[in-house]
Amino acid sequence: MSYALNLPINTVSFGQVSVALLREIYKKEEQPCIFPIGNVEIDSQKADKDFFAWIESCINKSTYLHKRATPIFKLWHFNGSLSMFSEKQLLMSFYELDQPTREEINVVKNNSKVVFSCEEPVKTFQSLGVDNVGMIPLAFDSENFKKKDKTYFSDGRVTFNLTGKFEKRKGHEKVIKAWIKKYGNNPKYFLQCAIWNPFLKPEDNEKVVQVLTEGKKYFNVNFLGFMPTNDVYNDFLNSADIILGMSGGEGWGLPEFQSVALGKHAVILNASGYKSWSNENNSVLVEPTGKIECYDGMFFNKGQPWNQGNIYDFDENDFLDGCEKAITRFQNEKENKSGLELQEQFTYEKTWGLINDELKKL
């Protein structure tokens, strides 16, 4: 079956998913036309001359071989997904809120089908009478993330990791301030924050740190800079004992998922995309207390045609109770065996197979 692809090939989450899917297609020795969204930035990936050449070849031939009758798979935001290279488009998007706008509903209706990586947005759109929606899970990126049997610290500390670019939706400020209140300057516990936001200027990222720490110094809280390669990021994920995932709205929660699949213990908000893969066996689950508006003046602005609505909130005491339970789990069993099972449960071979099945139906 002939098909084409329209997706970003870069270092952010959309791009990482794209490359993982492209690897599966490459393994099958298929030759689809590829229309990249934005600049191709593949430096974060391990060098693979043949794979990179295959991507370039598929891109170069697209403008003279592609036909609009050929089905296409697009991975992108709603904003920009009315633009189509095909009459039959399967869109995969990540929707994290709860109030689809008329523009977003129109985008979904004008695609042949739209799939999300969790069930919540499927139900949200179906409740509004939009039926051409479905769910396809994401997966463990076994090419870039591997368990390392390596000792990172020799002082017996319990290390927490916090990930994702800094923004209100992720709940970073609340998590960090609560963690500092309980564990700040306690040598038994360390917090590593990989929350560098590439959309902010370096000096603005520094201002964020000052706000989060209220200008105080904590020797056991470390704010890390931009990590240029997946190999470096893999090392960072492996260095933790416990991953914190308290985002108020996620399509999946890739860094947290990869961490748990590497055998790390976790404190996870039992909401949105996290529910696609986390459970009481592989994570300490924290129940949300309700919802708050998502608007932050940066990525979410009230009254705009995109990204309107609410995110989940949590009680800081429930979060800290979750941290204590995760510490106990780690002390009783260093490796999260239930988490390791995610590597086999969710693979990109399976994900691409489900996407391909949907393309065949168009």
> What is the three-class DSSP state of 70?
coil
| Segment 131-155, tens digit of pLDDT | 999 999 999 999 999 999 888 999 9
**Residue 209 or residue 106, greater confidence:** 106
319-343 average pLDDT score = 98
> For 349, how many CA atoms within 13 A lie in the half-sphere containing its CB?
7
181-208 average pLDDT score = 91
- Ranges 145-159, 169-183, 190-204, 276-290: which has the least confidence: 190-204
174-186 average pLDDT score = 97
| Segment 234-278, tens digit of pLDDT | 999 999 999 999 999 999 999 999 999 999 999 999 999 999 999
Q: What integer pLDDT is reported at residue 50 of this predicted model?
A: 97
| Segment 267-291, tens digit of pLDDT | 999 999 999 999 999 999 999 999 9
Q: Which two tokens stand for residue 301?
A: 């602005």
Q: What integer pLDDT is reported at residue 40 of this predicted model?
A: 96
Share of the chain above pLDDT 90, in %: 90
Share of the chain above pLDDT 70, in %: 100
214-224 average pLDDT score = 95
190-195 average pLDDT score = 97
What span, in angstroms and rounded, lies between the C-alpha atoms of 1 and 254? Answer: 30
Q: Which two tokens stand for residue 45?
A: 């990936």
What span, in angstroms and rounded, lies between the C-alpha atoms of 90 and 113? Answer: 5
| Segment 29-83, tens digit of pLDDT | 999 999 999 999 998 998 899 999 999 999 999 999 999 999 999 999 999 999 9
- Ranges 54-63, 107-116, 203-212: which has the least confidence: 203-212
Q: What integer pLDDT is reported at residue 348 of this predicted model?
A: 98
Q: What integer pLDDT is reported at residue 289 of this predicted model?
A: 98
Within the chain, residue ranges assigned H as helices are 13-27, 49-60, 62-65, 102-110, 119-126, 172-183, 202-213, 230-238, 254-261, 316-332, 337-340, 342-345, 348-361
CA angle centred on 88, ends 84 and 89, rounded to 5° = 55
- Ranges 159-168, 198-207, 319-328, 343-352: which has the least confidence: 198-207
* Domains of the chain, start order: 4-139+348-361 (3.40.50.2000), 158-345 (3.40.50.2000)
In the predicted structure, residue 202 carries a pLDDT above the cut 90? no
**CA of 131: how far to CAs of 108, 122, 358, 360, in Å?**
9, 9, 15, 18
Across all residues in the chain, what is the average pLDDT? Answer: 96
Q: What integer pLDDT is reported at residue 205 of this predicted model?
A: 84
Q: What integer pLDDT is reported at residue 77 of this predicted model?
A: 97
C-beta separation of 341 from 11 below 8 A = no
| Segment 82-101, tens digit of pLDDT | 999 999 999 999 999 999 99
Q: Which residues, listed in sequence order, are joined to residue 72 by a DSSP beta bridge?
A: 4, 89
What span, in angstroms and rounded, lies between the C-alpha atoms of 159 and 168? Answer: 23
DSSP code string of 120-162:
HHHHHHHTTT--SEEE----B-TTT---------SS--EEEEE
Q: Which residues, listed in sequence order, are joined to residue 6 by a DSSP beta bridge?
A: 35, 74
What span, in angstroms and rounded, lies between the C-alpha atoms of 146 and 148? Answer: 6
What span, in angstroms and rounded, lies between the C-alpha atoms of 118 and 277? Answer: 9
In the predicted structure, residue 204 carries a pLDDT above the cut 90? no
